[in-house]
Amino acid sequence: MLTGVSLTCFLFSYLAVFLLEVWRLFFKLPARQFLILVGMGAGLLAHTIFLGNELFGDQSTRFLSNWFQWVVLGAFGLAIACTYLMARNPTGNVGLFLIPLVLALIGIAVLVKNDQPFAADSAVTFWARVHGVSLLLGTMFIFQGFAFGAMYLVQSYRLKKKSKKRGFLRLPALEFLQSINRMTLFASAITLGAGMLSGILLNLSRDGRVAWFGSGILVSLALFVWALVAAILEVRSSNALGGRRGAFLSIASFAFLVVVLLFVMLSTHGQSSPKELAEPQKEAEEFIHGSGSEADSATTLPSSPSTSSPSTSSLPTADGSPANQTADPEQKGAR
């Protein structure tokens, strides 16, 4: 794998693109779209290499083994969606609302970099991965919904006040923003539901029962119920209120998600206990000491016969005959 790529490489690339978006609000910049796409492409390339080293490199133990990898992967998904939407709307300022969320996730990743890894259990690895990936996708959809909900409210206000100044803030049409916001509400409900179900199966596989009143189950259930209610309200809303209501629901979902993530990350949910972290190290030390003792016993040679038997001489005698005869102490004394 390629080395030397750190988190700051793609952090500064995304930050440079955001500054270009801000610059675009006040000044005309030739080749702005080209520079933005180049900056996002460079950031995604560095982000991809960094994730490859983190998830599949020599130092990696398993896929999504801690909160740091989980958050960095979420930022990567948001960056891909942001690049696609910015390429689709070259004259718009979509990046002003999406890139700050990518930067926020990278900042969270820096804060949780030294947190303890998730508990490793080969019997529940599959459901743990499904649980983690489902919640990650749900988080990404809620983040995108927040950005598009905010864009919808800003664009709706500007159109209502007839303050759509040419060359200033350019946002997509309300119909497009509403459709994307609607999609994120439905997708977040589906993925969070999958995360809740996989969490239940994870508890069954690991403990043989489900702790219905445990913090992890209650948090997942509350987040899924909220996303489901928001999706139902979006379906039942009228055309006149659908866009604004959906935008407010997406912003409320984002606020609720932030509270949930703070609660989960500050707790020990899914993380290995200090005892579990010490057990592999203890086993490794016992293995090393056991191998060392076996090696010492293997290298201990039996006592040489020369130490217990009388000494012999391999030198020839004066008459040329070999002297491979035992020098008996009695004979030696007789001589």
Name residue 229's amino acid: V
Q: E strands of the chain, at which residues?
A: none
pLDDT (tens digit, 9 = 90+) per residue, 152-173?
999 988 888 776 555 578 888 8
pLDDT (tens digit, 9 = 90+) per residue, 106-156?
999 988 887 777 666 544 577 888 888 899 999 999 999 999 999 999 998
The pTM score is 0.73
Contacts 24+ apart (CB under 8 A), 106-114: 106/7, 106/10, 106/11, 106/14, 106/71, 106/72, 106/75, 108/71, 108/265, 109/7, 109/68, 109/71, 109/72, 109/75, 110/7, 112/66, 112/67, 112/68, 112/71, 112/265, 113/68
What residue segments make up the domains of the chain, in order of their start?
1-118, 120-270
CA atoms of 172 and 148, how far apart (whole Å)? 10
Alpha-carbon dihedral sign for residues 46, 49, 54, 58: negative
CA atoms of 40 and 186, how far apart (whole Å)? 28
